[in-house]
Amino acid sequence: MKQSVLFSLAEVRLHPGILKERQETDCCYLLELLDPERLLAPWYAQAHLPSPPPYGGWEARDIAGHSGGHYLSALAACYAATGSRRALERAQQFVSGIERCQRKHGDGYAGAVDKRCFEKLRHGEIHAGGFMLNDVWVPLYTLHKMMAGLRDADQLCRIAAAREIACKQTRYLMKVWESLDDDQMQEILKCEHGGIAETLIDLAETTGDRKILDFACRAFCQKSVLDPLRAGRDELDGMHGNTMIPKVIGLAKLYNATGDESARKAAEFFFDRVVNFRSFANGGNGESEHFFAIGTEKDHLTAFTTETCNSYNMIKLAELLFEWEPRACIMDFVERALLNHVAANIGRKPGEFGYFLSMAPVAVKVFSTPEDSFWCCVGTGMESPMRYARTFYARSGNTLWINHYFPSELIWREQDLKVTAAGGFPESGLATFQLQFNPGISSRKLALKLRRPCWASTMRIALNGAVISVSAGADGYFTIERLWHDGDRLAVSLPMEFRSEPLPGTDRRAFFRGPVLLAGVLPSAAGEADPARERFSDHLKARGKTDEFPPHLIADRLIKDPHEAEAAPAMKLDWRPLYQVYEEHYGVYFRVMDRRRYRACEEELRRLSEREKARRLAVVDEVFPGFQQSEVEHALRESRSDTGDFQRRKFRRALPGGEFSYEMGCDPDLPLELELLYWGAEWSGARIAILVDGVMIAEQQTHTLCPGEWSPIHYPVPKELTAGKNLIRLTVRHLEGGDGGRVFHLSIIRKSSVQEENR
């Protein structure tokens, strides 16, 4: 089933360059700044063992423990990728900590989340929502991170106890699930469950235990979202991106384990739809963690585009697809996403990881703190630099695929060969590959396959100084098959030309030099507090964008090189790789137009910019219902409510007898208004109550408010309810009527600012 095999992390080393720099910074964070015992604190708490204080951010919430799983995976990969003995020792320490907790539980359970959640399932008690299961936030997601860490500790570090812990934990789950029927299992999967299927399939293959494989297939393959993919239907609009991708990785692993062709076709179909129809210029996808409708990209250029976890997991999916059928187009995507997203969203200091990478007109990168964030993208951020070289080389028999041109070193033990890649890629388009055989081996007959990048108009290849003529095959690779000798040297020259890519359906364009996505860096605003220099524990409190008037590029013809355009309003843009942007204000997509057109729309553009700035200044806090992180950061509580998608927006509604509430920031010194956004043509009416800290401030009938239009309604908040408070709890309660009452957005607004805007 596999036509190639990627080399393991232990067989490839990074050499100095941008990726090596990121890897070394991450090593410092993993081995110098993080305390494994504090990351183990959630495990100790569940096992009632003494522990040091846990870290903050997400590690202080229901999702505590997910970072520990990422950390264990990162340590294992660090040991494989660098040979660090300290990483191995830390991994052994972490596995030992989990093992202690498992022994204390005594029944095989080893998790960091409340075991009562699973014991309720054992007795058929299932309360599942998008991100809650039996009142616990994504417990299976967190459990998956631990299982993945144990798998990596087993496979990359040869820590035998890791596999045994995983087997015992799996047997515990199998006993919990054995009394559930198929419908109950599918009900559980309404809650985000990460890649639990993937790790169980890996464990089944490692142990040869068919029962584990059957369990993974029956219990953790969600039919409602995977069956459409098997049928070749794109029903991804509105779906949570990083919930979907691990499920599809599970499908890919299922094909490897069973040969299920429909699983392979589903994975390939999903990859194609996301990479070729749902991605931005940096290779990332989605906005506010969710896929949106194809063709609406221009409506989603916000601070919350391109979640880093998504690209991390899409690269993992690409690895599996490449092994099935090695094609250059797969590695074109990996190169784009790796260079322009995953490696572009890590800071220069240890512990700085980005959640979203904004494609907004004028954006700033938003980085975490070392000890008080621990978002999901901090977890994948810990792992990513150790996995950078995973896709560099692949093999089959005597064939070697050279997929990337970054400086690196490969040890191919079966062929007694070392390949050293040198050069300044991606700053330079020159790369050399030196072949060295082990002593006593003078030559081997091998086929070397060099990727022809999609962005390279030509490609010059020289063997030992002499240019050779060779054509790329249908797979996108140049194949050079010959008797190779010790010391042979291949030199590759790639033209690093400028080019542009449009944002579909708009006059916005992104610019590249070779594979490198360029950012136009704006002059800094002197004397102002700069959001680019802040670090955040709550990433949703970071705007990720600025109120600066976005520059436009003025050109009388279609341009490839952004330096050939004039920026308007007049300013000097500093064009540099997006991965080099750190604390600067930048843009990626720029509107390109001729001077006449710009003059015609300049005043309208300024008016819209000022209006948006005024609105942002008025907002104290806001919630995007149905979006995982917005709801978790605002401490969602709900009873008999649901979420869904309508008119390309997400909503939450209270069902009959139900309610939902959020903890929201307020300003005790100014009169406030609450704004709720409804669809003005609700066909099913409902009467809802709106409460602040348990006090009703308004009732609303949601039936036919404004047919065919969005209907934002403002409610004054009595000042006595906010006096002396920085936080209030806002509740929406169903009073009577049908199941209408969908709320699409909630915000608390300074009333004086709203009045100022409307004058």
pLDDT tens-digit readout, 154-179: 999 999 999 999 999 999 999 999 99
Q: Where are the alpha helices (DSSP H) in 29-159?
A: 36-39, 41-46, 66-82, 85-105, 116-122, 139-157
The class level of CATH for 621-758 reads mainly beta
User: pLDDT tens for residues 197-208?
Assistant: 999 999 999 999
Residue 193, token pair as written in the block: 């469950």
From 98-107, 491-500, 638-647, 742-751, the region with the lowest mean pLDDT: 638-647
Confidence class for position 361, pLDDT limits 50, 70, 90: confident
pLDDT of residue 413: 97
- Give the chain's radius of gyration (CA, Å): 27
Q: Are 103 and 55 in contact (CB under 8 A)?
A: no
User: Residue 115 corresponds to which amino acid?
Assistant: K
Q: Are 230 and 262 in contact (CB under 8 A)?
A: yes
Residue 683 scores a pLDDT above 80: no
Q: What are phi and psi of 643, to 5 degrees?
A: -125, 165
Residue 429 vs residues 406, 419, 423, 513: alpha-carbon distances, Å = 10, 19, 8, 10
Q: Which residues of 453-482 are buried (b: 16+ CB within 10 A; e: fewer)?
A: bebbeebebebeeeeeeeeeeebbbbebee
Q: Are 643 and 130 in contact (CB under 8 A)?
A: yes
Residues 6+ away with beta carbon under 8 Å from 599: none
DSSP string, 213-273: HHHHHHHH--HHHHHHHHTT----TT-BHHHHHHHHHHHHHHHHHH--HHHHHHHHHHHHH
Residue 757 scores a pLDDT above 50: no
pLDDT of residue 525: 58
From 61-75, 222-236, 289-303, the region with the lowest mean pLDDT: 289-303
Residue 358 scores a pLDDT above 70: yes
Residue 275 scores a pLDDT above 60: yes
pLDDT of residue 529: 60
User: pLDDT tens for residues 429-447?
Assistant: 999 999 999 999 999 999 9
pLDDT of residue 94: 98
User: Residue 20 corresponds to which amino acid?
Assistant: K
The pTM assigned to this predicted structure is: 0.87
- What span, in angstroms and rounded, lies between the C-alpha atoms of 33 and 668? 38
Confidence class for position 618, pLDDT limits 50, 70, 90: confident
The pLDDT of 53-75, averaged and rounded, is 95
Confidence class for position 581, pLDDT limits 50, 70, 90: very high
| Tokens 């190639």 sit on residue | 4
User: pLDDT tens for residues 98-151?
Assistant: 999 999 999 999 999 999 999 999 999 999 988 889 989 999 999 999 999 999
Q: What are phi and psi of 201, to 5 degrees?
A: -65, -40
pLDDT of residue 486: 96
Q: Are 751 and 715 in contact (CB under 8 A)?
A: no
pLDDT of residue 152: 98
Residue 668 scores a pLDDT above 50: yes
Q: What are phi and psi of 229, to 5 degrees?
A: -65, -40
pLDDT of residue 213: 98
Q: How much of the chain exceeds pLDDT 70, in percent?
A: 96
Residues 338, 343, 349, CA angle at the centre, nearest 5°?
170
pLDDT of residue 570: 82
pLDDT of residue 708: 64
pLDDT of residue 752: 58
Cβ atoms within 10 Å of 298's Cβ, excluding its own: 13
Residue 754 scores a pLDDT above 60: no
The pLDDT of 36-59, averaged and rounded, is 96
As annotated, the residues of the chain forming the CATH 2.60.120.260 domain(s) are 621-758
| Tokens 């309810």 sit on residue | 721
Confidence class for position 703, pLDDT limits 50, 70, 90: confident
The pLDDT of 346-371, averaged and rounded, is 94
Confidence class for position 608, pLDDT limits 50, 70, 90: confident
Sign of CA dihedral 326, 328, 329, 331: positive
The pLDDT mean for the chain works out to 93
User: pLDDT tens for residues 511-555?
Assistant: 999 999 999 999 875 445 677 888 887 776 666 666 677 889 999
- List the one residue out of 27, 168, 165 whose CA is nearest residue 96: 165
From 274-278, 457-461, 580-584, 754-758, the region with the lowest mean pLDDT: 754-758
